[in-house]
Amino acid sequence: MHKEHNLTKNQQIIFDLIDKSPEPMKAYSILFNVQKKGIKAPLQVYRALDKLVQIGKIHKIESRNAFIACHNSSCQVAKATAFSICEICEKVTEISSAGLSKYLANFKDKDGMKYSKYNLEFFGLCKKCR
Amino acid sequence: MHKEHNLTKNQQIIFDLIDKSPEPMKAYSILFNVQKKGIKAPLQVYRALDKLVQIGKIHKIESRNAFIACHNSSCQVAKATAFSICEICEKVTEISSAGLSKYLANFKDKDGMKYSKYNLEFFGLCKKCR
DNA sequence: AAGTTAATGTTATAATATAACACTATGTAA
DNA sequence: TTACATAGTGTTATATTATAACATTAACTT
């Protein structure tokens, strides 16, 4: 569940674009798409992306350097993320599994260390590509 | 458990360097360190890294664009990796937990999809930094 | 010895991301 | 309502990470 943040103009433009995209978007592809709206420089994009990630409106898919909108109301603001990634078509889906998130949130390593955050990426073939 | 691969000269040089490093190494830092051994170009480094990742001798820490040697004899050749990362000192440790790897290897999503591979990164503060 | 596959060396360039600085907008508190 | 702090903007330049393309060499296979 997202605390409401009032997005600024740039943040809103970039969030809307990512939110409408059926697939993760890369920073320079975002840049290309918003140039007609007056966002001209990479830094403007990266700044908006940083903020959107911070507040949990989008997530970064680390293995792909790409960004998707968060559609998981149970995800704890960028603190606990899990994705499935198809290695053929590159489709990415956010996983929301109560069991998984509970298991990982409570995971302790050998030293009893608990973690404040995690990111999990599963790879395989999606239905279509199998 | 690693199948034995005969590393080539470049692969061996680069593996040795990473293996001796107490922390993950970045590609261009590797390049800098092996230039005296005759490896002059980024591509030579990236090619060796690709191969080493493929055969499971090293892993890439995706959130850091850095590489560490695999010290986990139970890790299934780059198919199932988990790390803890300290957000202050950036210390990275490979996690080997039979419970965790069993849980993740058997994880199925809502559609019953099983995955052939995963990568998990936990973030928090290490003992020293707490 | 010929064919195949993997690795190398090299130059160039693509793709991803941040530094630094001057300026503007917004919210908060006296 | 002014002044202060904080966050966001616009801009130029540059750093960092990664791959394309091509000619060559090494190693393995039959």
Cα separation, B117 vs B90, in Å, equals: 25
The number of folded domains in chain A is 2
Q: Are B102 and B58 within one domain? A: no
Which of A78-82, B40-44, B62-66, B110-114 bottoms out in mean pLDDT, i.e. has the lowest? B110-114
Q: What is the pLDDT of residue A16?
A: 98
CB contact under 8 A, A107 and B122: yes
Q: Is there contact between B65 and strand D, defined as CB under 7 Å from any strand atom?
A: yes
Q: Within 7 Å: CB of A42 and strand C?
A: yes
Residue B78 has pLDDT above 90, yes or no: no
Confidence (pLDDT) at B66: 98
Instruction: Please check whether residues B44 and B92 belong to one and the same domain.
Output: no
Looking at the predicted structure, is the pLDDT value of residue A7 above 80? yes
Query: pLDDT category, A1, cuts 50, 70, 90?
Result: very low
Is residue A2 very low, low, confident or very high in pLDDT (cuts 50, 70, 90)? very low
CA distance A95 to A82: 5
On whether both B47 and B14 belong to a single domain, the answer is yes
Asked if pLDDT for residue A73 goes beyond 70, the answer is no
Q: How far is A89 from chain B (nearest CA, A)?
A: 15
Can you give A40-69 as a three-state secondary structure string? CCHHHHHHHHHHHHHCCCEEEEHHHCEEEE
Task: Tell me the three state secondary structure of residue B124.
Answer: strand
**How far is B118 from B112, CA to CA, in rounded Å?**
16
Q: Which nucleotide is nearest to B39 (CA to C1')?
A: C9
Helical segments of chain A, H only: 9-20, 27-34, 42-54, 98-105
Residues A63 and A85 in one domain: no
* Residue A114 pLDDT > 90: no
Classify the C-alpha dihedral B109-A96-A28-B47 as positive or negative. negative
Radius of gyration of chain A (CA): 16
What's the pLDDT at A97? Answer: 92
Report whether pLDDT(A69) > 80: yes
Q: With a 7 Å cutoff on the CB, does B47 touch strand C?
A: yes
Q: State whether B115 and A62 contact (CB < 8 Å).
A: no
Average pLDDT on A88-94 reads 94
How many Å from the CA of A42 to C1' of C18? 10
How much is the mean pLDDT over chain B?
A: 92
The domain of B57 spans 9-69
In this model, does residue A38 exceed pLDDT 80? yes
Does A36 map to a domain? Answer: yes
* Closest residue in B to A60 (Cα–Cα): B63
The answer to whether B62 contacts chain A (CB < 8 Å) is: yes
pLDDT of residue A110: 87
- Asked if residue A112 has pLDDT above 80, the reply is no
Reported confidence tier of residue B71, pLDDT bands at 50, 70, 90: confident
How close is the nearest chain A Cα to the Cα of B63, in Å?
6
Task: Out of B103, B121, B126, name the one closest to residue A119 (CB).
Answer: B121
Do both B65 and B17 map to the same domain? yes
Q: How confident is the model at residue B72 (pLDDT cuts 50, 70, 90)?
A: confident
Model pLDDT for residues B84-113, shown as the tens digit of each residue: 999 999 999 999 999 999 999 999 988 878
CATH number at residue B103: 3.30.1490.190
**Is B1 part of any domain?**
no
Which residues of B spanning 67-126 put their CB closer than 7 angstroms to strand D? none
| Chain B residues close to A127, C-beta within 8 Å | 111, 113
pLDDT greater than 90 at residue B73 = no
Chain A CB within 8 Å of residue B117 CB: yes
Task: Tell me whether A114 touches chain B (CB under 8 Å).
Answer: yes
Cβ A120 vs Cβ A104: under 8 Å? yes
Contact B109 A95 (CB under 8 A): yes
Q: What is the DSSP string of B6-48?
A: ---HHHHHHHHHHHH-SS-B-HHHHHHHHGGGT--SHHHHHHH
Read off the pLDDT of residues B46-69 as tens digits, 9 standing for 90 and up: 999 999 999 999 999 999 999 999
Let me know whether B63 and B89 are in one domain.
no
Establish if A21 belongs to a structural domain: yes
